[in-house]
Amino acid sequence: MPVTLFCPAKLNLYLAVTGRRADGFHDLVSVVAPLAFGDELEAERRAGGGAEARFTLACDAPGVPLDGTNLVLKAAQAFAAATGWDGAVHFRLQKRIPTGAGLGGGSSNAVAALRALDRLAGTALSAERLEALAAGLGSDCALFLRSGPVVMRGRGERVEDLPASAAARLRGRRVIVFKPSFGIATPWAYGRMVTRGADYVARDEAEAALARWRADATAPVAALLANNMQPAAFEKYVALPLLLARLRREFGVAALMSGSGSACFAVIDDPAPEPAIVACIRECWGEQAIVAATALA
């Protein structure tokens, strides 16, 4: 029987990029929460092997690469190399998470592929082995092995669960996620931070700000929100800050860009104005904008 898994999108509720590393990556401190919104990946064993590609992929969204550049197929190859499993699998991806958005869609798909293969192969890999495989695929892959809000450090490969009391303040919170018709390439965003040079946050300062929010049981979600990748993105893509400012002004919501963008989100305390907020987003960004009213998982 095929294995079907949900691939959640993620939001960076708190993102402090603290500096560039010697290996070219960046160090960061980030609070990340999965969403109830995402893709769906089905994996089915099939006959194959030899000269025929062992792992194949179909997707319902145009423009998604179906070759070895896709993280689903990269994950499959990594799994086979690590375990020695010689089976063949066809993947079917229902794509809802937009690309170039900072929502982690490709990484979430990759981790779902690892989990699906682990079930199909009967290998029952330990959490540690799965996490090592995930970290090798991408900086933000490992977080999708957790089931709730996490803190990421290093280049994103060091992941720990947010303490239960702090996580409870996030789980179930309503959010509206919205992405304009354009995306932002992550390498460009980090490269622009390097060029600007003044956007980094000191590690001690980043950790202290997070510690203060965690320690204050009365601190709202809005008090956590921060993203020092915004200035570089906002300098070029002015549609982002203009809309976020309007949402704050007209609806009193906390709003932020997620990750390297271009997707943004608003935290909703009262669901009543959700239709008006969605209408405002579409008025500003047009019908091409992707808008999803959902919740933190």
Among the listed residues 10, 74, 95, 179, the single catalytic one is 10
Q: For 40-78, how does the pLDDT look when each residue is reduced to its tens digit (9 = 90+)?
A: 999 999 987 655 689 999 999 999 999 999 999 999 999
pLDDT range class, residue 90, cuts 50, 70, 90: very high
pLDDT at 114 over 80: yes
Active site residue 140: yes
State the average pLDDT over residues 193-214: 97
Cα→Cα distances 140→30, 37, 190, 196, 294, Å: 11, 17, 15, 24, 21
Active site residue 10: yes
State the average pLDDT over residues 20-36: 96
pLDDT score for 16: 98
d(CA 278, CA 290): 10
Q: How much is the pTM?
A: 0.93
Which of 49-58, 200-209, 213-222 is least confident?
49-58
pLDDT at 18 over 80: yes
pLDDT score for 47: 86
Of 149, 63, 148, whose CA–CA distance to 106 is shortest?
A: 63
- pLDDT over 90 percentage in the chain: 94
pLDDT range class, residue 261, cuts 50, 70, 90: very high
pLDDT at 195 over 80: yes
Sole residue written with tokens 């000269």: 51
pLDDT score for 100: 87
State the average pLDDT over residues 136-146: 93
Report the phi/psi class of residue 108: left, alpha or beta, with left for phi > 0 and alpha for psi in -120 to 50: alpha
Residue 12 phi/psi, 5° resolution?
A: -85, 100
Higher pLDDT, 139 or 51: 139
User: What are the chain's domains?
Assistant: 3-161 (3.30.230.10), 169-295 (3.30.70.890)
pLDDT score for 52: 61
Among the listed residues 95, 118, 140, 179, the single catalytic one is 140
pLDDT score for 49: 61
